[in-house]
Amino acid sequence: MRTSRMRDEGLPYFGPGLGHHLQPRGSSKQSGPLRDQPFPGLLQSENLSREELVDVLRAAVLDQKGPLVTLNKPQGLPVTGKPGELTLLSVLPELSQSLGLGEQELQVVQASGKETSGLVLLSSCPQTASRLQKFFSHSRRTQKPTATYCAVTDGIPATTEGKIQAALKLDHIDGVNLAVPVEPPSRKDILEGVKRTLSHFRVIATGFGCALVQLQPLTVFPSQLQVHMVLQLCPVLGDHTYSAHVGTVLGQRVLLPTESTKPRKQVLDEALLRHLRLTPSQAAQLPLHLHLHCLHLPGARPTAAPIEFLAPLPPYFSRTLQYLGLRQP
């Protein structure tokens, strides 16, 4: 796709030099201490030093133009955490120095969650970050999608595309905050933190009882996309938190009561394990197959073409698609 250079005076949001359609610098392969088997490209963040994590993130940078930096975050790396924990946020000063930004320290504008891989949008300019955050907030209010995720699901949705609506709340269960559906929500529920959530989905390909699905959240809530796919009786592959809410009765999938179902490792049937070439013990370590693939931003001017940031799929995700015969996006 054509790449055009934008003039400085036409960049009220993003700063000079941002391309129209930004492709990654290199492939989805990353350097650093990455595990080759059974899930190639999976980061072992618990074994990293700060310096090693900075090296991994520097290698994951997809584009650096003007004040904006995009990188492809590995699955399992938290963006934020408790003081002293190794997170993306905790090493931003070192990453800023490594990228030659001097005193212009990067801040997070948009990011995928800990268990999700994919795009992170950073800015070294506070004004640009503020404008972009306002843009994302406005898009949510007007229900315009700005993010597209790719997911592999255990199960195939009943329809090829549609929208998923659910009222969700956070419940503290066994020391963990979990997103729980509330139906139907009362006015009191809404006042007490229950949020109405909405996502669009589209099935891209199917094979061996699984699906490659594009997801576009129109609201923001912790674990929203995982819960939404569970409500479709098609949990995301590698979801070891919410997949337990889908059970089988007389050969038919059913939604199990939230209050009596605790998180556990995802259980896959023998046929799927064979296709994925995994043992049950390996499947218990299967990473979440949910990837922030694309961010959609407005052009520099009202008449300018929209900007897209793209992040390649992790190697383990691509291999799963290959084993299941699902075409890549």
Q: Which residues contact 206 (CB under 8 A, 6 or more apart)?
A: 156, 212, 326
> pLDDT value at position 192?
77
> pLDDT value at position 44?
81
In one-letter notation, the amino acid at residue 50 is R
> pLDDT value at position 137?
92
Q: What is the pLDDT of residues 31-73, one digit of tens each?
A: 444 444 689 888 887 788 999 999 999 999 999 988 999 999 9
- What is this structure's pTM? 0.86
CA distance 193 to 171: 10
The ranges of the chain with pLDDT < 50 are 1-36
Q: Which residues contact 119 (CB under 8 A, 6 or more apart)?
A: 62, 70, 71, 72, 73, 110, 111, 112, 147, 292, 293, 294, 295, 309, 310, 311
Bridge partners, residue 147, by sequence: 295
- Of 289, 235, 290, 291, nearest to 267 (Cα)? 235
Q: Are residues 98 and 111 in contact, defined by beta-carbon separation less than 8 angstroms?
A: no
Q: What is the dihedral angle through the alpha carbons of 27, 33, 34, 37, rounded to the nearest 10 degrees?
A: 140
What single DSSP character describes residue 286? P
> pLDDT value at position 16?
37
